[in-house]
Structure 1
Amino acid sequence: MALVDLWFVLIAVLWTGYLCLEGFDFGVAMVLPVVARDDTDRAVALGTIGPVWDGNEVWLLVAGGATFAAFPEWYASMFSGFYLALLLLLVALILRGIALEYRHREPAWAAVLDRVLTGSSLAAALLVGVALANVVHGIPLDADHEFTGTLLTLLHPYALLGGVTTVLVFALHGAVFLALKTDGPVRERSRSVAVTAGMLAVPAGGVFLVWTLLGGAPVWVLAPVVVAAVGLVGATAAVARGREGWSFTATTVAIVAVAVTLFGSLYPDVLPSTTDPAYSLTVTNAASTPYTLTVMTWVAGIVTPVVLAYQAWTFWVFRRRLTRADVGAGH
């Protein structure tokens, strides 16, 4: 495998890790108003993601950094074309972080910050889905790989469906995670919310994936599409029966399969041009020099196991279910 192909795969893996891990963070925050009836319930729900949410964001930062270093043309065209959308995403992520960190320090503002947390998480999930759908669909690029559209250019039906699908799948993923990591009333409500979210996510995801296939995806992409569909249906059925562990595994597999579908449909392009296919960015014309890619490969080989080890350790330490008794009325 050439280094450019290797780094395309690595960036796809980083995005997949971000979608799987940050996906349940977003989902927990989105379903918070439904699953938590009082401040103790909210403390239980947010306690499940409190130790891990900032570590999960590392995957997005590394994905962005790897894209900048390995495919600078891709990074430049994407960030210039998606400038306003990515700015809104950044604002949403900042507001989410503020809400998570300050709600317990400023009790008088806790109710407002909880609404900010839910709204910013929903907005971030929507924007991530719209951005990824646009990357797969393509954007108007000229011969110099400059974006020639506007913000409205990015808001076409396929991209909007991608955003809605991401929101619904993350809501399912987060509700299942809550059901897996809590006990008592929060667990029961989370299971109910997960079933509802699953019933909405299955048809939305099905239409989105079929639309992706019809857009010119290679034949082999049909396999992960089937896996994603089975995963979403299986997750909904499992959580309805109280099998949260199997359900969370199924949602994770479904998200991985969706990522494989999207990046598999994209390759060998990294950013297709809807103006003229000749203007598209590919793994070849968007890549850094072989020397840069070689150095990056050695660095990634050393650092990646460390990152995986500390994240695995974090999840292991905080593996126990949370209950109202754990946080107490005064938490």
Structure 2
Amino acid sequence: MDLQLVWFLLIAVLWAGYLVLEGFDFGVGVLVPVLARDERERRQVINTIGPVWDGNEVWLIVAGGATFAAFPEWYATLFSGFYLPLLAILLALIVRGVAFEYRGKVDSPAWRQRWDACLVVGSLLPALLWGVAFSDIVAGVPLDADHRFTGTLLTLLGPYALLGGLTTLGLFVLHGALFLQLRTLGPVRERARVLAGRLSVPVLVVAGAWALWTQLAHGEGWTWAAVGVAAAALAVVVVAVPRGREGVAFAATCAVVVSAVVLIFGSLFPDVMPSSTDPAHSLTIRNASSTHYTLVVMTWVAAALLPLVLAYQAWSLWVFRHRLSVEHIPVPAVPAPRAELGATTRGRSSAR
């Protein structure tokens, strides 16, 4: 068995899992101020992903660790050349995680608003930059003979990469709106349905443009199948949302994300980091991989642990599958006016 090919495919699976699961997390984070009108509704929206967002991020850690162990040359070139965008993603994810934990620590509307803003930025920035980064990888970046990145930050912000960023941002926001339809009741669910209906056609147009550009410029013959599946799935979303079939629509956006990953990795193979300077400088699954012994050990570890991870992920999603309503959220305590507090204190003193 060609273990280099196995790990290339496994890394693609890990990225697909991460983008499907974290994709609706990003979308929900962006939509907190859009769909929620008061503190109880904001907590309702946040609580839909509260039990699962940190588990979903484990897929990113595993994907990064697998890349480092299986293809260290790819990892080194990627993180040196894409240092600033990946640093921005990392900082955004840290701020986002802190926002989840800290927004309820102080009973102050101003405090919660600041952390809600951090949650929005921490969700929006990665949703945009992951599309930029993957588009740049597919298109190729300037590499020298030693596989070192020789471009600048502006090199990574071309039209194709920015279109990829808009595609992932729009797709994840739509994904999050459909997830909220599945997990909420009441006004939030209805607003999510209306928003998903408004987003479905623009996302179809933007994502379709990116997929066609990718296929025509970098794809293989068989990757047309991925483009076709993505287009059909987005068409299903457009039809299903007005009919209230949010489960079908959500499954369709999952299929779109998986198809996009198939298109990306299918367009790359056998490269992992194409060089736009000279194809001879490209990193491939052959010249970027670890030793055979390392891949053998990693394969046995993955075979033992991956089923457990998948089982736990499925179990956690099943446990927290129920819909939430504002009735599940306690009414925030309203502080008594200062004059009333003073009168109450004097009354207690007189009684004593």
Band of TM-score, shorter chain: over 0.9
How far has the Cα of 1:309 moved from its partner?
Answer: 1.2
Select between 113-122 and 14-23 the one with higher mean Cα deviation.
113-122
1:323 aligns with 2:325: yes
Amino acid at match of 1:210: L
Cα separation, 1, equivalents of 2:234 and 2:39: 31
Select between 142-151 and 115-124 the one with higher mean Cα deviation.
115-124
CA shift digits 1:157-183 (9 cap, x unpaired): 110000010000000000000011101
What corresponds to 2:349 in structure 1?
Answer: none
Identity %: 58
How far has the Cα of 1:328 moved from its partner?
Answer: 2.9
How far has the Cα of 1:235 moved from its partner?
Answer: 1.5
What corresponds to 2:300 in structure 1?
Answer: 298
Amino acid at match of 2:92: A
1:189 aligns with 2:188: no
Cα separation, 1, equivalents of 2:176 and 2:186: 17
Residue 247 of structure 2, aligned match among 242, 245, 248: 245
User: Retained in 2: the 8 A contact 1:99–1:113?
Assistant: yes
Cα separation, 1, equivalents of 2:161 and 2:105: 38
What corresponds to 2:3 in structure 1?
Answer: 3
How far has the Cα of 1:279 moved from its partner?
Answer: 0.3
Residue 168 of structure 1, aligned match among 152, 167, 170: 170
Select between 190-199 and 80-89 the one with higher mean Cα deviation.
190-199
What corresponds to 1:94 in structure 2?
Answer: 94
1:67 aligns with 2:67: yes
Residue 272 of structure 1, aligned match among 271, 274, 278: 274
Question: Normalising by structure 1, what TM-score?
Answer: 0.98
How far has the Cα of 1:12 moved from its partner?
Answer: 0.3
Question: Normalising by structure 2, what TM-score?
Answer: 0.92
DSSP 3-state at the match of 2:272: strand
User: Retained in 1: the 8 A contact 2:138–2:218?
Assistant: no
What corresponds to 1:313 in structure 2?
Answer: 315
DSSP 3-state at the match of 1:219: coil
Cα separation, 1, equivalents of 2:205 and 2:153: 27
Cα separation, 2, equivalents of 1:203 and 1:191: 19
How far has the Cα of 1:330 moved from its partner?
Answer: 3.2
DSSP 3-state at the match of 1:220: coil
Aligned residues: 331
What corresponds to 2:81 in structure 1?
Answer: 81
Select between 192-201 and 250-259 the one with higher mean Cα deviation.
192-201
CA shift digits 1:198-239 (9 cap, x unpaired): 122110001000000111311110111011011112123212
Q: Once superposed, which parts of structure 1, at least 4 consecutive aligned residues long, lie more than 6 Å away? A: none
How far has the Cα of 1:72 moved from its partner?
Answer: 0.3
RMSD, matched Cα: 1.0
User: Retained in 2: the 8 A contact 1:31–1:193?
Assistant: no
What corresponds to 2:207 in structure 1?
Answer: 205
What corresponds to 2:14 in structure 1?
Answer: 14
How far has the Cα of 1:195 moved from its partner?
Answer: 1.4
Where structure 2 has 5 or more consecutive residues not aligned to the other structure, the ranges are 334-352
What corresponds to 1:103 in structure 2?
Answer: 103
How far has the Cα of 1:311 moved from its partner?
Answer: 1.1
User: Retained in 2: the 8 A contact 1:24–1:177?
Assistant: yes
Amino acid at match of 1:27: G
Structure 1 or 2, whichever has the larger Rg, is: 2
DSSP 3-state at the match of 1:215: helix
Amino acid at match of 2:260: V
Where structure 1 has 5 or more consecutive residues not aligned to the other structure, the ranges are none
Cα separation, 1, equivalents of 2:251 and 2:153: 36
Residue 223 of structure 1, aligned match among 216, 222, 225: 225
1:232 aligns with 2:241: no
What corresponds to 1:27 in structure 2?
Answer: 27
User: Retained in 2: the 8 A contact 1:224–1:261?
Assistant: yes
DSSP 3-state at the match of 1:270: strand
Cα separation, 2, equivalents of 1:107 and 1:20: 34
